[in-house]
C-alpha cells in the first residue's frame, strides 16, 4: 500500500515533467512515422524507375541524418521547457562539433564526395571506370570510398573525396567502344604489300560481326622505325570484357594474316654509318 502511495506521490509531484516527456515522446514517434512512410514511398519509386543502388544508399544516409536532426531538435525543445538555456546548449554543441569536424575532416570530405557521386550518378556498381590511372569494375560504393576490381584482379579502394575532385571515365556509359589500333610494318615493305596489309585490315573488320562497318584502314604515320598501318572501327558493344575479347581476336587475325602474306612487323632498330678517314 505504501508503495502505491509513493508512486502516486511521484506522479503528482512530477506531473509537469511527465507530461512534457509524454508530449515530446509522442511528437518523436509521429515525426519518425512520417519519415519512415515517406522513405518507403521514395524507395518504391526508385525501385520502379531505376533500381539505382547509389540513390538507395543516398536515401539511407539522408534518412539517418534527418532522424538525428529531429532527435536533437526535440531533445533541445524538451530541455528548453525544463528551463535550460538552449543558446548555451547550441554553443556547446557548436564547439564540440567544430572539434569533431576538424578531427574527422577527411571523413566528412569523403561523405560529401559520396553525396556528389550519388546525386550526379557518376557510376554505379558493375560499371567499368577509369579514375586516376586506376581502371576496373566498380564493386562497392559506400559513404567513404569506392572499391574497384582491376583486370589484374586486385581490389583498389579510392576515397570518394578524391573521386569527386577528379575526372572519371565511365566506359560503361558509352554506346560502344572504339578500336584505334596501329600495326608497324618494315620500311622495306613494297607499295603492293602495304596495300595488301590495308586490305587485310579492312577484310578482318568487314567479317567480324562485333565490328561496325564504318571502319577506316589507312597509313597513319611514317614513324622512326616503321610505316604505321592503322585501323579505326567502332564495335557493337559497351561491355568492357567483350571489348577486350574483340581486340584479342583482331590481334590474332592480323598476326596470322600478315605472316601468311609475307608482311613483316617492324621493331626498334638503328642504322650506324661508319665514316672512313682517308688520311
45-68: per-residue pLDDT in tens?
766 665 556 566 666 767 877 888
78-89: per-residue pLDDT in tens?
777 766 666 655
Please tell me the chain's helix, strand, coil percentages from 3-state DSSP, rounded to the nearest 5. Answer: 55, 20, 25
Nearest CA to 259 out of 247, 270, 251 is that of 251
Quick check: 136 and 150 in contact, CB under 8 A?
Answer: yes
pLDDT value of residue 254? 94
169/133 Cα distance (integer angstroms): 10
Residues 6 or more apart whose CB falls under 8 angstroms from that of 185 comprise 193, 194, 197, 226, 227, 229, 258, 263, 264, 265, 266
Task: Give the mean model confidence (pLDDT) for residues 174-192.
Answer: 90
Length of the chain: 279
Quick check: 204 and 254 in contact, CB under 8 A?
Answer: yes
194-222: per-residue pLDDT in tens?
999 999 999 999 999 999 989 999 999 99
Does the reported pTM lie above 0.75? Answer: no
Residue 250 falls in which region: left (phi positive, over 0), alpha (psi -120 to 50) or beta? alpha
Answer yes or no: is pLDDT of 107 > 70: no
8/266 Cα distance (integer angstroms): 100
pLDDT value of residue 260? 92
CA contacts within 13 A on the Cβ side of 241: 8
146/114 Cα distance (integer angstroms): 9
215/212 Cα distance (integer angstroms): 7
Answer yes or no: is pLDDT of 11 > 60: no
pLDDT value of residue 36? 84
- Dmax (CA) for the chain in angstroms is 133
- Beta pairing partners, 155: 149
pLDDT value of residue 153? 85
Amino acid at each position: 500500500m505504501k508503495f502505491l502511495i509513493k508512486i502516486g506521490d511521484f506522479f503528482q509531484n512530477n506531473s509537469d515533467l511527465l507530461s512534457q516527456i509524454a508530449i515530446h515522446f509522442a511528437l518523436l514517434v509521429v515525426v519518425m512515422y512520417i519519415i519512415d512512410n515517406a522513405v518507403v514511398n521514395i524507395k518504391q519509386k526508385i525501385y520502379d524507375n531505376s533500381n539505382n543502388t547509389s540513390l538507395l544508399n543516398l536515401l539511407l544516409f539522408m534518412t539517418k541524418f534527418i532522424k538525428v536532426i529531429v532527435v536533437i531538435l526535440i531533445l533541445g525543445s524538451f530541455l528548453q521547457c525544463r528551463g535550460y538555456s538552449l543558446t548555451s546548449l547550441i554553443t556547446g554543441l557548436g564547439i564540440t562539433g567544430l572539434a569533431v569536424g576538424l578531427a574527422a575532416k577527411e571523413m566528412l570530405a569523403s561523405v560529401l564526395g559520396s553525396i556528389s557521386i550519388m546525386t550526379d550518378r557518376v557510376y554505379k556498381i558493375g560499371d567499368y571506370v577509369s579514375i586516376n590511372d586506376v581502371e576496373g569494375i566498380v564493386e562497392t560504393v559506400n559513404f567513404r570510398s569506392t572499391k574497384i576490381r582491376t583486370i589484374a584482379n586486385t581490389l583498389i579502394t579510392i576515397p570518394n573525396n578524391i573521386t569527386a575532385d577528379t575526372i572519371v571515365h565511365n566506359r560503361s556509359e558509352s554506346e560502344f567502344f572504339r578500336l584505334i589500333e596501329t600495326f608497324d610494318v618494315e620500311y622495306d615493305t613494297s607499295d603492293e604489300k602495304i596495300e595488301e596489309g590495308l586490305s587485310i585490315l579492312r577484310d578482318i573488320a568487314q567479317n567480324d560481326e562485333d565490328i561496325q562497318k564504318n571502319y577506316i584502314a589507312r597509313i597513319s604515320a611514317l614513324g622512326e622505325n616503321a610505316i604505321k598501318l592503322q585501323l579505326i572501327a567502332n564495335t557493337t558493344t559497351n561491355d568492357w570484357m567483350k571489348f577486350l575479347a574483340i581486340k584479342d581476336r583482331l590481334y590474332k587475325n592480323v598476326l596470322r594474316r600478315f605472316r601468311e602474306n609475307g608482311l613483316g612487323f617492324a621493331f626498334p632498330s638503328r642504322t650506324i654509318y661508319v665514316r672512313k678517314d682517308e688520311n
